[in-house]
Structure 1
Amino acid sequence: METISAPVKTDWQTPYEKGNGNQTVTYADCIAWYQKLDKEYAQIKIREYGKTDVGKPLHLVVFSPEKVFDPDKIRKHNKRILFIQNGIHPGEPEGIDASMMLLRDLLQKPEWKQQLQNLVIIVVPVYNVDGMLNRNSGTRANQDGPESYGFRGNARNLDLNRDYIKTESGNAKAFQEIFQEWQPDIFVETHTSNGADYQYVMTLIATQKDKLQPVLGQYLEAEMLPHLYAEMEKAGFPMIPYVNSKEETPESGIVDFLESPRYSTGYAALFNTIGFMPETHMLKPYKQRVESTYKLLEIYIKLVNRDADKIGKLRAQAWAETLKQKNFPLNWKPNEQKSVQIPFKGYEAGYKKSEVSGADRLYYDRTKPFTRNITYFNTYEPNVTVSRPEAYIIPQAWPEVIERLKRNGIAVQQLKNDRVLPVDSYYITGFESFPRPFEGHYLHYNVKLRTEKQNWQFFEGDYVVFTDQQHVRYVIETLEPQASDSFFAWNFFDAILGRKEYFSPYIFEDTAAELLQKNPELKAALEKGKTENPELKNNPQAQLEFIYQRSEHYENTHMRYPIVRVENAAELRQFLK
């Protein structure tokens, strides 16, 4: 890498470095600083993508040691792409400040030259631009610094780390454009943790190993994570997996955080990208948190550069395995029979009377540090799995689904004529919903289905998505309604959950009687129902409803999922534009 010496007159100290160790850069100063870096160094380019919800563009800083800024050419040169994203929660700004210093040092310190031959680094300096502009000193009530910082919600008050599938924010749309254009090999998003008190400055969420293609999961578990932990120990920042306590305190054991596709690293895993969320500890001084983040990002860069060829080959193998995969997990559960013991540096927990309520309250005693083994539950197994169809058909009445598929690199085709086609159709037979809105949605879960073979009327322009394509996992985990972060789960199709036609009982009484006379099987089913269910027996309206729902008068679109599966799509291709 050619190193260009900065003019002596240029002050390359960041606002963080000029402060007292407890201050973070403002949005305006951050972007201005990167623009100055872009102007001064040929290895840096700053680009704009889309518009965030506050009306500002999302910036991407590209550091290419060989001054190649076309992602296709970068991949052809067999370079790995490391994607670092900061400020999704701007009250957690360590990565914002650490990345500014790190990129400068990569450019200016000669010792980095041999560590940057096999990769290109892309950085989103601030993802939640909206929240960073909403600067305050009070909303992170539990956190030790910095003095002022941004707010967790964006301009629409969305938590952007729940928006990677529903994609309601301009921020998320711009992110997906970046992700699909650059197709990173490794993704790192910087955070600060809440939760228990302990001795560590840095904790780490990695993509849950069991959710990755096995070749990537094995590499992550056997090589990447041991290296990251060992190097952070050497650097003076011993690290622990994210402290997601099984019960109230870590001594009960910690459970590997399951980042479903609504989260950044869960989204990345759909595209065979290994993801990480470094989580510094909120109760440590801000200076320590920035320094530990800087050091961990350094270690990622050296590791990706060292293993560039291996990572490339493993990802190629993972894509090949994905294309051959027949069954896809949709939901996961922890296997509590499989765990490991790990050393944990904590503080003794206890209880004392609350000065507010008088009840017992939890506290941690920092005068009583300890190191002892705790249980780490780090194995998950699928609890819902679906077979892969050859295609899905999506009526054009759902353009918001098509738009998201296209933005995520999914190839879609359209029918060239109106046509009746045999398909497998889902009916929603049961689901639960959160009683309060979650990120603006009454999220559905525990979805139950019935499948029927039907002939559907489709129309010219309706969309077909074949599953013999690289990004099939995104297709399946968004279109299959049982998936934890499917479009159905996020309320895209709630219109199907309500009936559109009803009956007047005094008129339908005669129709129901006639139906029972003509259909002995229906009459037997009603009698059986009344025998087994006293509520049905004693409710005349419920009996009419029972008959109505089993008659030709009942609408077949009620609870019918609008996206269908085609198990054998050989003939379907001839009907496409």
Structure 2
Amino acid sequence: MKKLFLFALLGSLTQLKAQSVASFPASLQLTPEKSNFEKTSSYADVMQFLQTIKSMSPLIQTGSIGKSTQGKDIPYAVLANPAISTPEEARKSGKPVVYIQGNIHGGEVEGKEVSMMLMRDILLGNLSNLLSHQIIVFVPIYNTDGNDQFAKGLRPSQENSPLETGIRENGQGLDLNRDGIKMETPETKAMVTNILNSWDPQMVVDLHTTNGTWHGYDLTWAPGYLSAGEPGPYHYTNSTILPFITDKVKKENDLLFGPFGDFYTREGWPVKNFYTYNHHPRYIINQIGLRNRMSILSESFAHERFYQRINSTYHFVKEILAYCNSNAAEIMQINQQAEKNAIEVVKNNAGKISKGVRFKMVPTANGIRDFRTYDYIPFKREDGTTTFTKTGRIIHLDKVNYFADFKDTVSATLPRGYIIPASLDSIAEHLKRMGAKVEKLEKKTEFQGEGFLIEKFTIASRKFEGHQMAAAEGKFVAKTFTAEKGDYLIDLAQPLANLIFYALEPQSDDGLLTWNFFDQYLTEKGINNQAVEYPVLKFFSTNTTPKKKR
């Protein structure tokens, strides 16, 4: 009788446990789930999913952030409880917005699938609590054009799992993850205007699949890297959020996460150095830091199977959302303080301090302990040189140098603001699209400041993302100058101070000059034969108080 009772009790508990798992209608089954994870969702599949789930829950609003190059709507979904549909309603709620972006590269598909899985679990499953203290905005298929260019062999590192994927680039043949400063794709313009500037997310998560090193982690991550931005959001993300999540998924899900990077066997074996990606704000994750917000890059491990990459990405994003939901007030406070600091530094120190504009990658103080990687073994070629071949064995190395800090190699004086001549209205309009506050002078105004004399102007011989990158060398010259009525004034005492500074400084390693915005002007002024003054002037103070208008 005792055994029968125990069996009955165990059966009841098992039944209760099974009942706690939500049952979803077949119409919400995703393409990978229907295909034994051999296929990934098409654009039409994603649009159908969003239409279907919207009909099943009042807590989701859907729409389009804009059109792709090929004219497709780029869909977004806002999840909130109580439901909201506009950025204004989000601000009034007092809750932070968390932005989850998938499929920026059309062949990196895990983020797209995980976004839909999480929407399903939050709205109809057991994760409804994730809407208690935050609003979540999903853009599951950001690169709508690249996603549907299905073919085999486009992602060889993924070993045909899934069998076919889309392409990396958008419909223009450009990498959307290199477009954060130049903003020449409709996708970037739409995302910056209708997500970053409108919804003002406090946390941005960009979901990728690595195509590089055979490390030994299920997923690697990186914060938005610190360069000329305020340190608060970066340090909190890197030193608090990411270590906490890494520990939690190891304990609860038996998943091994670690910092993102690549190593190179040409440096020898065992590996001694692990390198992250660079700091440039062309990468949207890095630009978020210059906007005084937090951001996280997610890179699932290409050499795992599709279903494993989905599992790792799902748990990573779920835990990010759980952390943001539980620590919403603290995240907002840190970001608001960073924004306040950016403005106060300009007000109190303009003309007195310098900030970096060019940086080099340097190792962190502690490196990576217990580094996990696939082993490599050396072989001698016939010519006597050595090559290394990976094995199926995973090894642990006591310590590896981690190149993930950035030290400035060139700095520039922080101004109170900039003056852009009226003839360069395209520059002013570009900065407005980025979210900068730009004003027009109503009368002539005299300023104290400096100009930059370009003594050497070089253009790269090879194209990168359709551009032959430019660089300027020269010197700053103190001067008193008069700005004309109609010229553009940018007072740097504004929330995007650090982003504007990085974009406008002539020696910046990822500014507008780098991306050829001033090539035509400089050529017309004879830069190939003589020194030319950079047309954007810096001011530290004004001799009169100008009236301004937007």
Shared fold, TM over 0.5: yes
Please name the residue that 2:474 is paired with: 449
* Mapping of residues 141-540 of structure 1, within 5 Å: 141-144=156-159, 145-177=161-193, 178-209=195-226, 212-234=229-251, 235-245=253-263, 248=266, 251-325=271-345, 327-336=354-363, 338-352=365-379, 360-367=386-393, 369-370=395-396, 372-417=398-443, 424-445=450-471, 447-454=472-479, 458-498=483-523
Instruction: Describe the superposition over 1:281-337 as per-residue Cα deviations: whole angstroms up to 9, x where unpaired.
Output: 111111100111011011011000011111111111111111122543222223448
Instruction: Describe the superposition over 1:384-432 as per-residue Cα deviations: whole angstroms up to 9, x where unpaired.
Output: 2222222211123223322221122211111224677665221112354
Structure 1 residue 475 displacement after superposition: 1.1
Q: Any idea what SS the aligned residue of 1:573 has? A: coil
Structure 1 residue 573 displacement after superposition: 1.9
Amino acid at match of 2:540: E
- From the superposition, tell whether residues 568 and 458 of structure 1 become closer, same or farther in structure 2 (CA, over 3 Å): closer
Instruction: Describe the superposition over 1:12-43 as per-residue Cα deviations: whole angstroms up to 9, x where unpaired.
Output: 21112111123210111111211221232111
Q: Any idea what SS the aligned residue of 1:400 has? A: helix
Tell whether 2:78 aligns with 1:78. no
Tell whether 2:75 aligns with 1:67. no
Question: In the alignment, is the contact (CA less than 8 A) between 1:16 and 1:24 conserved in 2?
Answer: yes
User: What is the CA–CA distance in structure 1 between the aligned matches of 2:364 and 2:116, rounded to whole Å?
Assistant: 44
Amino acid at match of 1:338: A
Q: Which one of 127, 133, 139 corresponds to residue 148 of structure 2?
A: 133
Instruction: Describe the superposition over 1:194-224 as per-residue Cα deviations: whole angstroms up to 9, x where unpaired.
Output: 2221322211122225665233233223311
User: What is the CA–CA distance in structure 2 between the aligned matches of 1:556 and 1:18, rounded to whole Å?
Assistant: 65
User: What is the CA–CA distance in structure 2 between the aligned matches of 1:223 and 1:211, rounded to whole Å?
Assistant: 21
TM-score of the superposed pair, with normalisation by structure 2:
0.87
Which deviates further from its counterpart, 245-254 or 276-285? 245-254
Instruction: Describe the superposition over 1:242-292 as per-residue Cα deviations: whole angstroms up to 9, x where unpaired.
Output: 123266467222134333100011111111121111111111111100111
Tell whether 2:542 aligns with 1:559. no
User: What is the CA–CA distance in structure 1 between the aligned matches of 2:448 and 2:528, rounded to whole Å?
Assistant: 19
Gaps of 5+ in 1: 502-553
Instruction: Describe the superposition over 1:447-493 as per-residue Cα deviations: whole angstroms up to 9, x where unpaired.
Output: 32322345656544221111111111121111111112110011110
- From the superposition, tell whether residues 203 and 463 of structure 1 become closer, same or farther in structure 2 (CA, over 3 Å): same
Gaps of 5+ in 2: 1-20, 346-352
Question: In the alignment, is the contact (CA less than 8 A) between 1:391 and 1:569 conserved in 2?
Answer: no
User: What is the CA–CA distance in structure 2 between the aligned matches of 1:555 and 1:89, rounded to whole Å?
Assistant: 38
Q: Which has the larger radius of gyration?
A: 1
Please name the residue that 1:533 is paired with: none
State percent identity of aligned pairs: 27
Q: Any idea what SS the aligned residue of 1:32 has? A: helix
Structure 1 residue 571 displacement after superposition: 1.6
Please name the residue that 2:14 is paired with: none
Tell whether 2:36 aligns with 1:20. yes
Q: Any idea what SS the aligned residue of 1:379 has? A: strand
Structure 1 residue 149 displacement after superposition: 1.1
Question: In the alignment, is the contact (CA less than 8 A) between 2:143 and 2:170 conserved in 1?
Answer: yes
The number of equivalent residue pairs is: 518
Instruction: Describe the superposition over 1:542-561 as per-residue Cα deviations: whole angstroms up to 9, x where unpaired.
Output: xxxxxxxxxxxx99995221
Structure 1 residue 500 displacement after superposition: 5.3
User: What is the CA–CA distance in structure 2 between the aligned matches of 1:75 and 1:340, rounded to whole Å?
Assistant: 40
User: What is the CA–CA distance in structure 2 between the aligned matches of 1:448 and 1:404, rounded to whole Å?
Assistant: 24
Q: Any idea what SS the aligned residue of 1:567 has? A: strand
Amino acid at match of 1:561: Y
User: What is the CA–CA distance in structure 1 between the aligned matches of 2:289 and 2:403, rounded to whole Å?
Assistant: 20
Amino acid at match of 1:120: I
User: What is the CA–CA distance in structure 2 between the aligned matches of 1:135 and 1:377, rounded to whole Å?
Assistant: 35
Question: In the alignment, is the contact (CA less than 8 A) between 1:331 and 1:383 conserved in 2?
Answer: yes
Structure 1 residue 371 displacement after superposition: 5.0
Amino acid at match of 1:175: M
Q: Any idea what SS the aligned residue of 2:145 has? A: helix
Question: In the alignment, is the contact (CA less than 8 A) between 2:80 and 2:136 conserved in 1?
Answer: yes
* Mapping of residues 539-550 of structure 1, within 5 Å: none
Q: Which one of 137, 140, 147 corresponds to residue 122 of structure 1?
A: 137
Q: RMSD value over aligned CA atoms?
A: 2.8
User: What is the CA–CA distance in structure 1 between the aligned matches of 2:224 and 2:235, rounded to whole Å?
Assistant: 12
